[in-house]
């Protein structure tokens, strides 16, 4: 989820718990072998054993359409220690699709096989190679064929976003079509799309036949969603994440944003997350309204102190770290 679920939000959300592993934002591969610093900028967890600070493994995601170039970049990336390589066959962005990447590849199943096979050969046999696809580009007529192409290339696991590119993010998600895919391949299939609540998760499981789920915007909106799903499964996990529990995490998120992102991005990133949170937390609506017109990080920090998201008396303000550069 480019521009949203970056390493900063991965850090904070995985502190809550309930997540088995994460997938990074996509790393765009075009015509060249990318230097290691590009991988590190998007997946800084590579410098710390491939895990978030909370210890959750991260798979690095590649997006591209040239099998040889994808393989070369996957090999270099694998040498940096991610907990797997993920391939993006689902991005609906026009600029990506116009250049033959993301969901556009679902129009060419044979190319899907070649990309997956090239990457599979390029990385160690013990390193998982997974893929994420949508149901199709303009329609879902070739959904099972595309999934079989990905599986035949050697993918170890497949995540299916239960909409086509043409559907974008409009409800509903067609979870029953994920079941068709699950029955058509021999590799594990994970369902994704329109999972906002525990009830959504159960209905998705019932319709798709998949026990494993990938959470995206639902967990950004409700950071306790993964835990809540596990609790509904009968697991002994932490209780619901209340607003009072979330405030220190919002404060931690803000400090990471200030430390790691450029000044022009900082207030906007906080408002972006609050905009999602207000779908689940009424208090986030109030917070969003209070911060909506603030752009000065010092003023935002003061608001954080007043709301007890930061310790009383906290006044320190950091300029962004120069070695990090801009947000990927």
Q: Is the pLDDT of residue 95 over 90?
A: no
Q: What is the pLDDT of residue 260?
A: 86
For every residue of 256-295, DSSP letters joined together read HHHHHS-HHHHHHHHHHHHHHHTTT-HHHHHHHHHHTT--
In the predicted model, what is the mean pLDDT of residues 182-208? 98
Predicted local confidence at residue 325, as pLDDT: 39
pLDDT in tens, 123-154: 999 999 999 999 999 999 999 999 999 999 99
69 annotated active-site: no
Q: What confidence tier does 201 reach under pLDDT thresholds 50, 70, 90?
A: very high
pTM of the entire predicted model: 0.91
Q: In whole angstroms, what is the distance from residue 158 CA to residue 56 CA?
A: 20
If phi > 0 it is left, if psi is from -120 to 50 it is alpha, else beta; for residue 160 that is beta
Q: What is the mean pLDDT of residues 108-123?
A: 98
pLDDT (0 to 100) of residue 316: 55
Residue 185: pLDDT band with limits 50, 70, 90: very high
Which of residues 265 and 173 earns the better pLDDT score? Answer: 173
Give the strands of the sheet with 85-89, arranged side by side. Answer: 22-28, 58-63, 85-89, 129-134, 157-161, 189-192, 213-214
- List 91, 146, 204, 210, catalytic entry: 91
pLDDT in tens, 252-299: 999 999 998 888 889 999 999 999 999 999 999 999 999 999 999 999
- Please say whether the beta carbons of 230 and 198 come within 8 A: no
pLDDT at 23: 97
pLDDT of 215 > 90? The answer is yes
What are the structural domains of the chain? Answer: 20-214 (3.20.20.70), 243-306 (1.20.225)
CA 10/CA 59 separation, integer angstroms: 12
């Amino acid at each position: 989820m480019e521009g949203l679920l970056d390493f900063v939000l991965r850090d904070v959300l995985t502190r809550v718990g309930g997540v088995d592993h994460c997938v990074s934002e996509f790393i765009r591969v075009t015509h060249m072998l990318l230097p290691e610093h590009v991988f590190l900028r998007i997946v800084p967890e590579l410098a710390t054993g491939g895990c978030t600070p909370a210890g959750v493994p991260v798979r690095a995601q590649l997006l591209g359409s040239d099998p040889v170039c994808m393989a070369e970049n996957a090999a270099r990336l694998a040498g940096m220690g991610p907990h797997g390589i993920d391939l993006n066959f689902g991005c609906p962005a026009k600029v990506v699709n116009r250049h033959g990447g993301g969901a556009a590849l679902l129009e060419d199943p044979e190319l899907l096989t070649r990309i997956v096979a090239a990457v599979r050969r390029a990385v160690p046999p013990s390193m998982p190679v997974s893929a994420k696809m949508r149901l199709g580009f303009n329609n879902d007529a070739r959904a099972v064929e595309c999934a079989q192409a990905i599986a035949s290339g050697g993918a170890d696991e497949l995540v299916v976003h239960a909409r086509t590119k043409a559907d974008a993010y409009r409800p509903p998600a067609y979870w029953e079509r994920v079941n068709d895919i699950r029955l058509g391949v021999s590799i594990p299939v994970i369902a994704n799309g329109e999972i906002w609540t525990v009830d959504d998760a159960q209905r998705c499981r019932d319709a798709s036949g998949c026990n494993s789920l990938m959470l995206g915007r639902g967990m950004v909106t409700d950071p306790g969603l993964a835990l809540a799903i596990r609790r509904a499964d009968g697991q002994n996990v932490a209780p619901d994440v209340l607003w009072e529990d979330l405030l220190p995490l919002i404060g931690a998120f803000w400090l990471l944003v200030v430390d790691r992102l450029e000044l022009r991005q900082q207030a906007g990133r906080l408002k972006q997350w609050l905009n999602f949170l207000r779908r689940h937390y009424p208090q986030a609506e109030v917070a969003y309204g209070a911060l909506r017109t603030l752009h000065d990080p010092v003023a935002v920090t003061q608001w954080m102190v007043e709301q007890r998201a930061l310790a009383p008396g906290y006044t320190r303000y950091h300029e962004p770290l120069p070695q990090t550069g801009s947000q990927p």
